[in-house]
Structure formats: structure tokens, C-alpha cells
Amino acid sequence: MGLLFHSLYPPTLTPNVAPPFVVVSSLAMFGAASNAPLAVMVMLLEMTNNYRILPEAVIASAIAYLMTTWKFTVFKAQRINKRHTKHE
């Protein structure tokens, strides 16, 4: 993605290194897979201590989360909604 942006836009608009693209894409993938994009966003801010990539992370995470249509998760015990649980 970084190489694509470098070929499409002037060098002043795109970062010269690939790590921001790797961090944002990892955030988006795990946020969508875990069905918890806000928690992953907080983890991103804590691990990287870099607030400059937050707007890109929010956009990428929102798109990935909407693409999964809230039906899939990597956690087996996570409930989709409260109506699907058994009351014992």
C-alpha cells in the first residue's frame, strides 16, 4: 500500500517508511477480526505512543469493521448480541 501511495501521490504527502502502513493495517485487521475496534485502537496508542497515525487508523479500522458486517469474531465466547444467549 505504501508503494502504491508513493507512485500515486507526491513524496511530501506520503511517509518515507513502511512501518505506519504495517501498524495501521494490523490494527484494522485485528479490530475487525476481534469485533472490538475501539479496544484495539487503545492498544495501538499505548504500544506505539504515536498519535499522528490515529486518523488513518480510525478510517482503516472503521472500513474493516464494516466489511465484516459484525458477524464474525476470533473469540468463541464473545456474544454477537444479548438476544442470542441462553438464560439459565
Least confident of 6-10, 25-29, 48-52: 6-10
Residue that has been written with the C-alpha cell 507512485 in this structure: 7
* This prediction's pTM: 0.63
**pLDDT value of position 5:** 74
Tell me: the pLDDT tens digits for 36-83?
888 888 888 888 888 888 888 889 888 888 887 666 666 666 566 655
- Residue 34's Cα: distance from chain center in Å? 10
More confident residue, 55 or 17: 55
Instruction: From 25, 29, 2, 34, select the one nearest 15 (Cα to Cα).
Output: 2
**CB-neighbour burial class of residue 65 (10 A; exposed 0-12, middle 13-18, buried 19+):** buried
